[in-house]
Structure 1
Amino acid sequence: MTAYWISAYREISDPAKVAAYAELAGPAIAAAGGRFIARGMPAAVFEDGVEQRSVIVEFDDVEAATAAYASEAYAEALAALGDGAVRDLRIVPGVD
């Protein structure tokens, strides 16, 4: 069953650190089998929606998504991000 990383950037305090993270995270996620589905600012928000950068990445399953997060390559990306942003990242199983 597919799985999705859903990441919402609550606050970006250092765009340079976010850029350094993205440069490392993209290849690390792709190498782990992740496929970027959506990323950027919302086109519209509804109900209690918040105008914040969001990223959705698809993986083959929860195990692959979890392994990608735990990988050494992704740890390097997180180190580059440091305190540059406050994010909410969750792994959600897909619906088959």
Structure 2
Amino acid sequence: MPKGYIIGHITVNDPEAYKEYVAKDTPLLMGLGGRFLVRGGQAEVVEGAAEDRHIVFEFDSFEAAKAAYHDPDYQEVAKIRHASASSTIMVAEGNDEDLPDPAGGTPLGYLIAHVTVHDPEAYRPYVTGNTPIMRGYGARYVVRGGQAEVLEGDLGGRHVVIAYPSFEAARAAYHDPAYQEVAAIRRDFSEGTIILVEGAA
């Protein structure tokens, strides 16, 4: 069964109050079966605009991820986040690929994309053309297609999370000239945000 993910992008407006949220949400979500793939860490918004902090929380299924977000205890704690930060939050069904082995024990790197496709037929060559390039850098597709539901804020209609053996591998894959050539198709027929982010240690 594919895993499920809570994906969040957050800008903290009140750091002291937000610390209380982190202290309460972490044990709660972990107690509901979640584990952090991405939490803080270095990040680079390479296309579009995004919040300052990025999280990816993995659960055993899409239903488990949704249930964790909607859990009454979590919703009570989320009130602290709502008061101290601006957020976009979604749940997404996983692609069921194993994560890559970290390079030398370093944290994994991730590419997180939220895009709205304007011409699906013209966009298709991008989908088929980018995959072999990404795979050459050790990519595994964590989220690609599948069910998705935006719970807070505004995100595009297509969501992708790609894991790499390291943050440096994620950056190298994105900046590869061959990928940038294929990415021109995506830019012509979609709009959105792409973030490179370091995984949780």
Task: State the TM-score, normalized to the length of structure 1.
Answer: 0.86
* C-alpha deviation, 1:41, in angstroms: 4.7
**Aligned AA (2:18):** V
Q: Could you say which residue in structure 2 is the equivalent of 1:4? A: 5
Report the Cα distance in structure 1 between the residues aligned to 2:68 and 2:3, rounded to whole angstroms: 14
Q: Distance in 2 between matches of 1:50 and 1:8?
A: 7
Q: Is the 8 A contact 1:33 1:60 kept in 2?
A: yes
Provide closer, same or farther for how the CA distance between residues 57 and 36 of structure 1 changes in structure 2, counting only shifts above 3 A. Answer: same
Whether 2:40 is the aligned partner of 1:44: answer no
Distance 1:82 1:44, change over 3 A: closer
Structure of higher CA gyration radius: 2
Amino acid at match of 1:59: F
CA contact (8 A) 2:15 2:84 kept: yes
Q: Which residue of 2 aligns with 1:76?
A: 76
Of structures 1 and 2, the one with the larger relative CO (CA 8 A, separation 6+) is: 1
Aligned residues: 95
Distance in 1, matches of 2:59 and 2:50, equals: 25
1:23 and 2:23 aligned = yes
Runs (4+) of structure 1 moved beyond 3 Å?
Answer: none
Which residue of the partner structure matches residue 61 of structure 2?
Answer: 61
- Where structure 1 has 5 or more consecutive residues not aligned to the other structure, the ranges are none
What are structure 2's unaligned runs of at least 5 residues? 97-201
2: CA distance, partners of 1:18 / 1:70: 20
Cα RMSD after superposing both structures = 1.7
Give CA deviations for 1:18-66 in whole Å, capped at 9, x if unaligned: 1111111001100110011111154333122546100110011111011
In structure 2, C-alpha distance between the alignment counterparts of 1:50 and 1:78, rounded to whole Å = 20
Which whole-Å CA distance do the structure 2 matches of 1:26 and 1:48 have between them?
Answer: 29
CA distance in 2, matches of 1:33, 1:27: 10
Structure 2 distance, partners of 1:49, 1:22, is: 24
